[in-house]
Chain A
Amino acid sequence: EADIYQTPRYLVIGTGKKITLECSQTMGHDKMYWYQQDPGMELHLIHYSYGVNSTEKGDLSSESTVSRIRTEHFPLTLESARPSHTSQYLCASSQTGLQNSPLHFGNGTRLTVT
């Protein structure tokens, strides 16, 4: 059973608010990822990290930012939420050094911006 946790599970917030989506994993994985998923659509990578102090942008342009100060923690921040940010955000991790290591996902945060 993968141990990767996302909070909150659901968030409804007004336009212009600053929000942080939390993601933590207890598996000691160096690699962590944030994906965005709209209903019925494929997942798109928005951020990833190879380890502490490493962050990279993914394929999908996003106004969010991430930080990786601790191995187990990979929060995502939106400075000013907009209705276009309404989506499901999924955090994942995998083991370093193993190219064929499976990806482990959290349960996601469903964000609604009104």
Chain B
Amino acid sequence: KQEVTQIPAALSVPEGENLVLNCSFTDSAIYNLQWFRQDPGKGLTSLLLIQSSQREQTSGRLNASLDKSSGRSTLYIAASQPGDSATYLCAVRGGSEKLVFGKGTKLTVNP
């Protein structure tokens, strides 16, 4: 059974800092890995999707990497801003239609 773990559970950084969020998964047989952002009381917004054949994806200040063999992904946020404060969730998709989610990392960027 696929399990997804995100470390740390919470992170507080000063504005402008570069940071890395971690995601690990137990079964390397995945189709893709997706990073989401969730603001309080809201749904999830898709940030980046990495296919199993890819090593990384970039969007603006965000860069996500995938090492399928070791079961790890990282989300790198450059020059963090207070508006980046949110919970970041990682999810992996295996052979079924189902995404398995981690519990998320709650990020606070202090002005």
Hey, what's the 0/1 contact readout for B86-99 against A, CB within 8 Å counting as 1?
00010101000111
Are A106 and B43 in touch, CB under 8 angstroms? Answer: yes
Are A103 and B103 in touch, CB under 8 angstroms? Answer: no
Residue of A nearest to B93 (CB): A99
Residue of B nearest to A108 (CB): B43
Contacts of B41 in A (CB 8 A): 107-108, 110
Interface residues of A in 3-48 (CB under 8 A from B): 6, 31, 33, 40-45, 48
Which of the residues B31, B45, B99, B102 comes within 8 Å of A100, measured between beta carbons? B31
Are B49 and A102 in touch, CB under 8 angstroms? Answer: yes
Contact count band on B: 20 to 34
Would you list 6 pairs from A and B whose C-beta atoms are within 8 A, ordered by A residue?
A: A2-B45, A2-B46, A40-B103, A50-B97, A90-B43, A108-B41
Contact count band on A: 20 to 34
Interface of A with B (CB < 8 Å)?
Answer: 2, 6, 31, 33, 40-45, 48, 50, 58-59, 90, 92, 99-100, 102-108, 110
- The distance in angstroms between the C-alpha atoms of A40 and B89, with both chains bound, is 11
Hey, what's the 0/1 contact readout for B79-111 against A, CB within 8 Å counting as 1?
000000000010101000111011110000000
- The distance in angstroms between the C-alpha atoms of A40 and B105, with both chains bound, is 10
Which of the residues B42, B91, B102 comes within 8 Å of A107, measured between beta carbons? B42
Are A108 and B32 in touch, CB under 8 angstroms? Answer: no
Write the nearest CB–CB distance from B91 to chain A, whole angstroms: 8
Write the nearest CB–CB distance from B104 to chain A, whole angstroms: 7
- The distance in angstroms between the C-alpha atoms of A42 and B103, with both chains bound, is 4
Contacts of B98 in A (CB 8 A): 45, 48, 58-59
- The distance in angstroms between the C-alpha atoms of A40 and B103, with both chains bound, is 7
Are B44 and A105 in touch, CB under 8 angstroms? Answer: yes
Is B51 on the interface with A (CB-CB < 8 A)?
Answer: yes
Residue of A nearest to B104 (CB): A42
